[in-house]
Amino acid sequence: MKAVVLAGGSGTRLRPLTINKPKVMVEVKGEPMLVHILRGLKPHVEEVVLVVGYLKEKVIDYFGNEFEGLKINYVVQSDSKGTGHALLCAEAEIEAPFLLVYGDLYFNPKVYYEVLSQDSAGVIVAKTVPNPESYGVLEVTDGLITDILEKVPNPPSDLINAGIYYLPPEIFEACRQVELSERGEYELTDAVELLINSGLEFKPVVIDEWVDVGTIDRLKRAEEMVF
């Protein structure tokens, strides 16, 4: 199995830490966030495809073509056009179901075992939060995800999309079909919705120990986490 990690973000809300490094290279507990993600993936995949962009040389020089025995391949997202566009950059490297992880997350990697044990076409890792209006919210009915709502003012649940997926190869065609969002980006969640509406089953797996390291405050929270 392969994994795709979206590692091209510039991390504007983490400045000044990201003036000279991409977001995934910001350190948590003394090592880049991306190190923690790759170590978590090692027991489950043979290769990781890193989608790089902003200051990509910093990532490539640090990790090379192998990290602690894990093969690494790189593809470049030249323009920042959203998560759906970023995933499409990796299409030529993927031919079977795969894991997808956003590169700015810090979480307990034991969640992969539950993700890969699900009997469904796709999986989205979810997290219960007190402020779901700031995230993409999952609607779940009878154990299946039925909708993904992006940053709505009155979300129907407090279960958010945590940015960790198990996806079928059909996701690439779905990414080609989505239109630009209100943010001017091609959203991966819109592509997942297309697959759900076509009849493919997606299940949620809820994680406890997780933080989206998008701000200095969240970086401090990640530093305090103990698995």
Query: Which domain range does residue 172 map to?
Result: 2-224
Q: How many domains does the chain have?
A: 1
3-class DSSP state of 126:
strand
3-class DSSP state of 74:
strand
- Confidence at residue 13, expressed as pLDDT on a 0 to 100 scale: 84
Q: Model pTM?
A: 0.94
pLDDT tens readout for residues 75-120: 999 888 899 999 999 999 999 999 999 999 999 999 999 999 999 9
Domain with residue 84: its CATH number is 3.90.550.10
- Confidence at residue 79, expressed as pLDDT on a 0 to 100 scale: 82
Q: Does residue 102 contact residue 4 with C-beta atoms inside 8 Å?
A: no
pLDDT tens readout for residues 43-54: 999 999 999 999
CA 107 remoteness from chain centre: 12
